[in-house]
Amino acid sequence: MRFSSRRISRVGVLIAIGLVLWIFEELIPHPVPFFRLGLGNIASVIALYFLGFPSAILVATGRVILGAFILGRLFSPSFILSFSGAVMSVFAMAFARRLHGAMSIWGVSAVGAYTHSATQVVMAYFILYTNSAVFSFIPLIGLFALFAGLLVAFFSAAVLRKVMV
């Protein structure tokens, strides 16, 4: 797929926005794993609605790779978790959006956040040592992800209302 220079610049701006939000959130201490808002996903959601699926994948992967560079954890386990989570969530959101328009941005974003968390939990199970205590938190992780997804949808919708005329 050929990208026009206009699209490339827009993808770049969205990567930058996602990067700032992602690093900002990364620097906040989060003592309990998996309980994070995923503010970086705002950029993915905006990209999906504003520019479409291929751009959204670029925004998600670009954000995670550059973010890992900046925080010095490229190819570390936490990078693999972030990367797989971000990519899977964009796929899930694109799929949810295609479901005959049954879902608005709220549902799509919630599905994305949920997929993000679910992917990370599953990957963490295979990659990291995780004691079973984490798995008893799965219901809470899921519910928290849905809440985070709605929050992301709130911000994304606020931006998209201004951008999409």
CB 114 within 8 A of CB 88: no
Long-range contacts at 32-36 (CB < 8 A, ≥ 24 apart): 32/137, 33/124, 33/134, 34/117, 34/120, 34/121, 34/124, 34/134, 34/137, 34/141, 34/144, 35/140, 35/141, 35/144, 36/148
Q: Does 111 bind another protein (CB under 8 A)?
A: yes
Q: How far is the CB of 7 from another protein (least distance, A)?
A: 18
> For another protein, which residue of 56, 141, 148, 152 counts as binding (CB under 8 A)?
141
Name the minimum Å distance from CB 66 to another protein: 28
Q: Is 125 in the site for another protein (CB under 8 A)?
A: no
54: left (phi over 0), alpha (psi -120 to 50) or beta: alpha
Question: Mask: binding to another protein, 19-58, rule CB under 8 A, as x and -?
Answer: ----------------------------------------
Q: Which residues are near another protein by CB under 8 A?
A: 96, 99, 101-107, 110-111, 114, 131-133, 135-136, 138-139, 141-143, 146, 150, 153, 157, 160-161, 164-165
